Structure 1
Amino acid sequence: MENNKFFCPNCGTEINRNVAFCPECGFNVKQYLDNLQKTPKDQPKEPSSKTTAQHSQPTPKKNRVVGSQAHPARPTQRAPRKPIKKWKVITSVIVLVILVGGYLFLNNYYSKKATANRLVTAIKQGQDKTLASLITSNDPSFKPTSSNVEPLVTYYGRNKDKLASLKGSLTSTGYVNDHLEFVNSGHKFLIFDNYKLKVKPIYPRIRTNKKNAKLSINGKVVANPMNTTDPKKFGPYIPGEYRIKTSATIHGHKLVNNGDYAWIDPSGYDLDIQSILQTISYTIKGQTGSKVYLSGKEIGKIDKSGFYDIKDYPFSQNMTVALSMKTQSGKVVSSKNTKIDMSMNNTTITPQYPGFASTDDAKDLINSVWGDLSDGTVTDSDSANDDDYDDYFVGGSTSDIYQQMIKMVDGYQNDDSISDYTMDPTLKKVVPYDTGQTKVTYDVKYSFDHDDHYHIQTFEYNAIIQKSGSDYKMKTNVMDHKVNDYDKDE
């Protein structure tokens, strides 16, 4: 063995004396050799020959003994930690990433905003099971299920604007109304917030006037028969849209009372329902040929007389009447719904069309247009300007009708054979014409005083009037034909 080589006293590996630590076991070679140099001179020297060294090679991990004297005890050395295997590091990193990622995901998933979004989506898409899982209540009698949350879905399905408002309330204060509130109801996995829609259930009190009546709520029979005419409490129900149906056979006639109720934030008064079984009779007035709708269902048409009679019809609290007709411009228009109550029994009802002039509206405009000419208020363009006569016409003073009226009355004023004149309009028919426009058919009776006799003429006109702000204005006015023409002695 070369002089700079020797065997590690700890593991027996051949190493260079110049290294500080054994590359195999990590033994502190330098410290060991330094200690040897400090040994007393009479200490036997380490054999130098290769043969002696081989015979005196120490047993690994044990102290070598020379003669009867042991080598000085080596300082205790801690072996360096073995390198951690690569796959363990990678696995640890992956597990850490999964744990951190899972926490971040669930923390966001169960956040107030994310939960509110899921709740609104469940309502919007009719996900009843999901919605039920996001609802809680302090009322132990109410347990949310996929079936009993449907009225809430129905209400917001019919009131889209309310759904947008609901989402804003959930993500801000959480307060919707006295029956709905978005609250943190505890924790998920002991860590994450658990937001839910806390519901205060409703208990409607329903009364009928017939003991043998059958009562159903949203299609489910809850009493058959009622057995009492006193108010009876039902529930609990989630706030939402409900239909109360009462039916009974009285004197051989089946009577039905249907009522729709939007109980989203009802007061105690709102929940007191009187489902009365009774009949009602009334007459509907409208244009000939108009279709008649009772609570949205077509039941007939207005006849040539301009009327449609309803006799002894089962009364419902939410009964409405409406008409639809084809206008003279070819468009089909519908009237507003007129709500029926028992005060209308044996009366005549005239449904009104939105944007169209009523008979009174048309009469007021026609009388004003001709009245100002007849009574002498307007006799020329100057007096018309002073009296704001142009306000009666679409386009004002640029209107062709306005110009014709001024020219006509100015001609009468300048006719020496006419000492006086009057113009008396009579309304004949008012019908919807087009969107926001109404056709008015009327007569005008002209009476000209020629001193010794009266010349009387009657002409029929067709005018189109349209809505302008809160008033109506004349858009067109066409003389259709002469009705009569005669003289009369004074």
Structure 2
Amino acid sequence: MYCKNCGTKNDSDKKFCKSCGTPLTTHVVKETPLTSEQAVVQKHQPNNATQQKSKPKKPMATSTKLLLILGIVLLFVLIGTYKWAENYYSFEAQRDRLMDVIKTLDAKAYSEVIESNHPAFEVTEASVQPFVEYLSTRPEAYNDMLRFLMRDKDSFNYYDQLYIRQQGKHLGLFDKYILVITPVEFYVMTNVEKIDVTYEGSEDKLTMQDASTAHVGPVAPGIHHVVVETTLAGEEVLLEHSEAILFADESGYIPEMYVDFETFEFYIYSDVDTATVLVNESPIGDLVDGEGFFGPVLWQEDLVMTFSTVLDTGEEVEKEVQLDPNRYEYNIQVYPSVSSYDIEQTIGQVYRAASVLADEESDEQLDTLASYLVDGRDNDLFNTYKNTGKRYRDNDDISSVYYRVYLQEYDVIDLTTVRVTYELSVNEYGSAGDYFELMFTGDMKILDDGMYAIESVSLVD
């Protein structure tokens, strides 16, 4: 019999087709001989049984369908995720997120997204505080920074304060962009020497380049606070200073922060060789060979300079002068200023009174004489001149006498004493008159009113 499925001829006692395995019916289909015309037609027509001889498809299993659906969904998810990540990790999106951090003006937030391009500068909440303070207190700088970060990704410079740089990959596919800060260094310079400098509240002293210069850095760009300590005129002085240091210099130049104390210096010359100079009771230096430069002194109201010296006589002398920051030179005269003319005139007045006494004696003339002598009438010279006048009056051969004084030299001995040497010419008139010259030396006192009085006189042999 023939198989209904594939048309293969099988034995009549078979239950399944030997070619395709299809169950066979018990009804036997007999083969009917074909006519010649049918045989020709059949020869030229395709055999249906042969065309249908391929094995039919089995129905798709449920698990296979689920896997196929899952694969398609996963493909769409992967495509969608890639597109989302491509947008999320785009330069513009990353830049916007970094700018959102900048807008917080929070040092802790900054420290979590900013990196340093200097190996010696560690980004921490404390180390970026100067930069945060700068942006927080300078609205223009803050707005300029936001506009600056909106630039194209290829237009940033290594020496910019803060810039965006590509570094690494996100998910191994997308460029990763980070914020990079450029640290700065600077010198703290002052107009005084022997200073100690501390930075941002630290108790540690900065490294000194020289007596008046300290080095700071690397530190974040921004507003920096330093404290400079020194000793001026024996007084410890502390000066706080804040200044914005913003850019590192591509050429290697290190900027300078000037912390100037309001100080002044002055010059003293004197008529004594040595002295100690004090300002507000604090020693600041010594006079040497009659002169000296002093300072710097921190300017403040009511500064008093004290000039202290010991004279050869052992007498201690102090002079006080109100300091003026606009005045540079001070002439400190310890010894009184004397006038050779006044000295000579005083001695001359004594001898004029003595000359009058040679003619007549009166209380008026005696008082005049006494006024030019230390201790007045109690001075031994008073009786000397009085007696000399009487001797001339008693000598009938001498009618009058004329004295002439020539000051030879004088020297200030102490604050009130002037030692003088003078020549006295004596011209006696009368039959027994004579002319002669004498040399005297003596001490004169300077009175409170600036006038002079003779203390003692002795004849020079």
Q: Output the TM-score relative to the length of structure 1.
A: 0.40
For the pair shown, the structure with the greater C-alpha radius of gyration is 2
Query: TM-score, normalised to structure 2's length?
Result: 0.42
